[in-house]
Structure 1
Amino acid sequence: MRIFIAGASGAIGGQLVTRLVARGHTVIGMTRSAAKVSALRESGADPVVVDALDPDAVADAVAKAEPEVIVHQLSALSGPSSMRRVKQMAAATNRLRTEGTDHLLAAARAIGVHAFVAQSNALWMERTGGPVADESGRIEPHPPADAEAAVAALRHVEDGVIGITWADGIVLRYGSFYGPGTSLSSAPDAVMTRQIRERKFPIVGDGGGVWSLVHIADAASATVAAIERGRPGIYHVADDDPAPVRVWLPYLARTLGAKPPRRVPAWLARLLAGQGAVDMMTRARGISTGKAKRELAWTPRYPSWRAGFTQGLS
């Protein structure tokens, strides 16, 4: 197939290019950075430099590429971290998930693609029910005020893609990424890794928030399976071991050779980082992945973060 990947130079986008080209697909890789064109070309993609927030440029690039499938992996969650930088990245990502999604959907409809596959994530599953949610669960309808824009942007992606009638709309709710190219890897500039080593990523409150994690290579293999044989709807993509923060974070610190994470009361974390961060650390729900395994014939290489952290960070 001819496959257009928006966000082809990101952590998962780069993995997708390599895998799809190896499987015989023609890949058109969209990036906003001219500096990443050479790497995309070396990976086997036909690169295009496009500002995802420019509707005319997106429409023109998609029309020229004539893809059968569009894969939406746009985000701005990369680069050096500071409180101000995090807010800037979050705001930019929200625009990519709202305006960027709308531009890609309009371009896709104009040329009549067969399928549209989009990235969502599982950190904001509705905070009711048990510790693990399946695909019938919805995004939290009443998030904290400081997380409202980010959660609304996720909802925008999901509603827009699942609501299309002119193509197969597929949404992938990923667990939290780790592995090469992500913020949690063995690379010296990996933001989350550095924070854990510097004891700046604490356990907040009781650390009872349940996170599902997924190695970036497993996320990519599930995405390829969804592109090739997914049906319209939502798929959860994560490992088989959802766990509270108070369980997986100390294990990760030991794996990295770091001191145990600090413990910070929820009231103090709320003052320093906001209610949204506290909510994720104390109330998040994990996800189940039975549907992806059944319908996509997908099996993660790392079924638990325990093996993934020790074997797959580099």
Structure 2
Amino acid sequence: MHILIAGATGAAGRALIPRLIATGYAVTGTTRTEAKTGELRALGANAQVMDGLDAASVKAAIDATQPDVIVHQMTALTGIDMKNIDKAFHLTNRLRTEGTEHLLAAADGRLLIAQSFAGWPYERRGGPVKTENDPLDPAPPKGIRETHAAIRRLERLTTEAGGIVLRYGGFYGPGSGMAPGGEQTEMIHKRQFPLVGNGEGVWSFLHTDDIATATLAAIERGRPGEIYNIVDDEPAPAKEWLPYIAEHLGAKPPRKVPAWIAKVVASPAAVMMMTSSRGASNAKAKAELGWRPTHPSWRDSFAAGA
């Protein structure tokens, strides 16, 4: 089987390529620039230049490679501005909407597996941990509404076409912002990642190794038209995970900032993430995909120096 990874030079693609090749699949990865094709070949994949926002480029890439399955991992993140999250995600949101449309138009019935997010989009009512049957937030706060709309559109387009949506948790591990030297890790070291308000916002995490194991499971056993939360076994509120990770990184405890101040200096969306977001359950992925995270707890992984 031949797998095309659209957007293969990010953390998800770099984790997935070796796993697919080790399983015996042929892999082609796409990148927007010729300069990055060498990175993909070094991982063992074929490389294809493709602009996910250009319909003709997407069609040409799929026609040239003739994959059996397409995995949509296209993002364009260069950092997160907590004052305007939608601005930081603008290109990624276009890839979630326009890029998904282009992939589906060129796929000609091939299975599309698309990356979504389980980190904070769920409705902020009811229990702290949500399943795929629970609704997404109907009224996201200012600063994150475009991003929510893009996630909804990606998921609708993909499932209506018989594709599979994987809602990943927040990444940590190699290649992520929570890796040594990563943006978020450095913010924690510098005490620039504060604990906001009551810190009761629940987060779900995913080690980059398990991006690969779960995506492989979805390729082999996923049901068309379904959505799966791909997260570890331990959703946790910010007041637990942030001090714990700071301690195991050798950093000072995070500063504490009242919610009203964070709302002014950061954004209402940032306050939501730290005080009222909901985590995600991986029970469906375990039951239907036969998947188990190789890193079941962010807590154990950080204690072991991940």
Q: Same fold (TM over 0.5)?
A: yes
* Residues matched between the structures, number: 304
- Normalised TM-score (structure 2): 0.95
Asked whether 1:171 is paired with 2:146, we answer no
Separation of aligned partners in 2, 1:2 and 1:84: 41
Separation of aligned partners in 2, 1:89 and 1:38: 27
Separation of aligned partners in 1, 2:282 and 2:132: 8
Match of 2:227, SS state, is strand
- Normalised TM-score (structure 1): 0.93
Q: Report the alpha carbon displacement of residue 33 of structure 1 after superposing the two structures with TM.
A: 2.6
Quickly say closer, same or farther: Cα 1:116–1:221, change in 2 above 3 A.
Answer: same
Match of 1:53, SS state, is coil
Asked whether 1:216 is paired with 2:204, we answer no
Give the partner amino acid of 2:256.
R
Cα pair 2:20 2:27 within 8 Å, conserved: yes
Quickly say closer, same or farther: Cα 1:71–1:312, change in 2 above 3 A.
Answer: farther
Q: Which residue number corresponds to residue 266 of structure 2?
A: 273
Q: Which residue number corresponds to residue 233 of structure 2?
A: 240
Give the partner amino acid of 1:121.
F
- State percent identity of aligned pairs: 51
Match of 1:98, SS state, is helix
Q: Which residue number corresponds to residue 113 of structure 2?
A: 117
Match of 2:188, SS state, is helix
Please list every run of at least 4 consecutive aligned residues from structure 1 whose deviation after the TM superposition is greater than 3 angstroms. 80-89
Structure 2 residue runs without a partner (length 5+): none
Q: Report the alpha carbon displacement of residue 310 of structure 1 after superposing the two structures with TM.
A: 2.6
Cα pair 2:164 2:222 within 8 Å, conserved: yes
Separation of aligned partners in 2, 1:60 and 1:82: 34
**Residues 26-79 of structure 1, C-alpha deviation per residue, up to 9 Å, x if partnerless?**
11101113222112112121101111111100011111111111100111124x
Q: Report the alpha carbon displacement of residue 85 of structure 1 after superposing the two structures with TM.
A: 9.5
Match of 1:145, SS state, is coil
Separation of aligned partners in 2, 1:84 and 1:266: 14
Separation of aligned partners in 2, 1:279 and 1:84: 13
* 1:188-227 matches, cutoff 5 A: 188=181, 190-227=182-219
* 1:1-314 matches, cutoff 5 A: 1-78=1-78, 88-109=87-108, 112-113=109-110, 115-122=111-118, 123-164=120-161, 168-186=162-180, 188=181, 190-232=182-224, 233-311=226-304, 313=306
Give the partner amino acid of 1:117.
I
Give the partner amino acid of 1:292.
A
Structure 1 residue runs without a partner (length 5+): none
Match of 2:89, SS state, is helix
Match of 2:164, SS state, is strand
Separation of aligned partners in 2, 1:219 and 1:193: 20
